[in-house]
Each structure stands twice: as C-alpha cells, then as structure tokens.
Amino acid sequence: MELKLTGVRAALGGKEILHGVDLTIRDGELLALLGSSGCGKSTCLKTIAGIVPLSGGSIALGEENLAVLPPHRRGVVVVFQDLRLFPHLTAAENVAFPLRMRGVPRQKRLEEAGQWLERVQLAGLDKRKVGQLSGGQLQRVALARALAARPRVLLLDEPFSSLDENLREDMRALVRSLQEQLHMTTVLVTHDRREALSMAHRVAVMFDGAIEQCSSPREVYAAPATRRVADYFGGGGYLPGTVRDGVFSMGELSFPAAVPDGAWDAFLRPGALKPGQGPLPLTVAEVAFLGEGYQTTLAGPEGFRLALTAPAPLGPVGQTVLTGVDGAQAVLFPRDP
C-alpha cells in the first residue's frame, strides 16, 4: 500500500521539529530518508509509527488514516538503532515475540521464528541468548523479529550505524534482498549518503524538518534541485559564468543553457569534465594514489576545485590541463548575490 504524508508537523518539548513534510512512499518501495543529525528524519519516522503525535497534517496508508490509530494497530514496525532485543530471551524467542502477542501457540511460533532466522542467515542459532551473539547477528535477529510481525510498513532507523563497514555492506545487501522478495514498503532513515544511494529506489533529502528533494538516487546525486542538496552530497565544484541568449560562457568555454540571462554557477561533478578536450585551463593542485588509481584535483577560477580518479595522474602538480565540459551534465544555479 502507498504511504502518504501530507503537511506533517510535529513538535518535541514545545519546539516544532517537522515543518510540513510532504512525502509519498510507493507500494513495495524502499525509500531512504537522508539528512544530517537533527534535521528531523527520525522524528518523521516516529510520527509514522505513532510514537510522536502529529501537531498538523495527515498520514495515510492506502485509504486508511493512520493518525487516528494507536501504534499497535497501524501495521507498522520499527527497527531502532539500539535494536531493543530482550536479553533474557533466545534468538528464536525474540523473533517469536510478535507472534506470541498475536496468540500463536508456542511450538508454531518457534517454528516460524526458526524460518525467519534462516532467511536472515542465522540458521542453527535459534537457542542462543542475546548475550552470545555478535553485533551483526543481533542486527539480523532484530530484522527477523520485525519481519515476523508481517508489517504493512517496515521502518528502519539507522539500524546499521554501530557496525563496521564490512558488516554494514552485508546487512545492506540482506535488507535489500529481503525487501525485494517480500515487496515490503520500507523507509530507511540514514545519514550515510552511500547507504542511501546504493539501497534505495528513491532518496528523500531532508533539511530543517522538511523535504528538499525526493527522486531517484541517480537524479538526486547528478541533478540536485538546490545548492543545499548539491553541497550535502559533495564531490562537485561550481564554475562561475554568464548566460546570454541560451548560452553559458566562462572565458573560451561555452555550452547551451536553458535558463534566463544573468550570472550563474555551473555545478559540475567529475564526469562532466573532459581533460585534454577543451578550452578551459585548469591547474593540477593535488595528486593522490588511492590503490585502484590516482585522484587528481584540478583547480580553476574563483575557488573551483574538482577531484577526478583515473588509472594515471592527469599531470604533475602545477601543470595546466586544458579541459572541456559536458554541458548536459552541468546543473545551473543563480549566482549568490
């Protein structure tokens, strides 16, 4: 079912945190809610779950108004960062807990719990206590418990943040695989840009309690709607120029631009630069060996800097590299006054 937030407002301690959030999560979609700490993304998740009440707006799941339902009747399950497993129970008993709450007989619920543990790659660990499990195994138990509840919506609140990078990669792959298999509407809250881009069908970028942009991972990265979104992802540079009669120009460089005449900054990612293929003189500012190749940082007018990775350096530090620009990959923003 489609989950729709319309004009959602919420306050904590008398301070408004969410300032009219509009967001639609499609049926069976994994949407990443991405933003820095304090932007309101976890609060947004908690309004969906019913943990934080609305002060305005609405939340609907299909045709049903979730805002009028208590948390236990919403069909929504949250996996929190701290997991909230029961330390006195075994892995299987933790997973079986939501089935116990529904009155499923003990033997049947433990059998089903074992099946879920197998699906999260923990077969044979059903009788282990929480204290006997590693961090990655605990994450899998928490995920299995959430799935055993058969929620209509799965909410993940930075569940991988305590894991090292290798375990994070494993958990990302597992969650994405299960989400696709189960076709489960899922919202992942994260501040990890790579996590959001690699896992989600769409990414919603949040600032100051509101959604700034929501689109595919490729679009939100390559075609940011605002400077704030562009700067949040980093890895790009602004080339100052002027647009006249549909053409952006900066010195000898020019390319078509469908924006009004005036002063504009062309936001470029590394793929837009064509070293050795154009008129723009850039200077090699830094060269670093990364193992898989060399990162060459090129510098230009008004603080422009952009790092490119290639099998070999683009030149020694201080060398001028005449560079072209693929204007189709440029995103233009009006020059700040």
Q: Residues with Cβ < 8 Å from 119, sequence gap 6 or more?
A: 144, 147, 178
- Cβ-proximal residues to 189 (8 Å cutoff; 6+ apart), any chain: 32, 33, 41, 42, 44, 45, 155, 156, 157, 158
Residue-wise pLDDT tens digits, 14-52: 999 999 999 999 999 999 999 999 999 999 999 999 999
Does residue 201 carry a pLDDT above 90?
yes
What DSSP designation does 279 have? Answer: E
Higher pLDDT, 149 or 160: 149
What span, in angstroms and rounded, lies between the C-alpha atoms of 9 and 21?
7
Q: For the domain that residue 117 is a member of, what is the CATH number?
A: 3.40.50.300
Instruction: Assess contact for 181 and 173: CB atoms under 8 A.
Output: no
Beta-carbon count within 10 A of 58 CB:
14
Q: What is the mean pLDDT of residues 286-314?
A: 94
Which one is predicted more confidently, 127 or 162? 127
Q: Residues 195-216, buried b or exposed e (16+ Cβ, 10 A)?
A: bbbebbbbbbbbbebbbbbbbe
Q: How confident is the model at residue 337 (pLDDT cuts 50, 70, 90)?
A: low
pLDDT of residue 167: 85
One-character DSSP codes across 108-143: HHHHHHHHHHHHTT-TT-TT-BGGGS-HHHHHHHHH
Local confidence band at 164 (pLDDT 50, 70, 90 cut-offs): confident
Q: How many domains does the chain have?
A: 2
What Rg value do the Cα atoms of the chain yield, rounded?
24
Asked whether residue 224 falls in the same domain as residue 265, the answer is no
Note whether 61 and 198 are same-domain residues: yes
Residue 182 to residues 33, 157, 158: CA-CA distances in angstroms? 20, 19, 21
250 and 161 in a common domain? no
Percent of the chain with pLDDT over 70: 100
Tokens of 158: 């930075």
Together in a domain, 304 and 212: no
**Domain C-terminal end among 213, 231, 249:** 231
Residues 103 and 248 in one domain: no
Residues 129 and 275 in one domain: no
Task: Judge contact between 261 and 244, C-beta under 8 A.
Answer: yes
pLDDT at 282: 96
Residue 251 CB coordination number (10 Å) = 11
Structure confidence by residue, pLDDT tens digits, 181-191: 999 999 999 99
pLDDT in tens, 117-146: 999 999 989 899 988 988 889 989 999 999
Residue range(s) defining the domain that contains residue 139: 3-231
Report the mean per-residue pLDDT for the chain: 94
263 vs 257: CA distance, rounded Å: 12
What's the pTM value of the predicted model, to 2 decimals?
0.91
Distance of CA 184 to the CA centre of its chain: 17
Quote the CA–CA distance of 207 and 38 in Å, as a whole number. Answer: 9
- 159 and 79, same domain (yes or no): yes
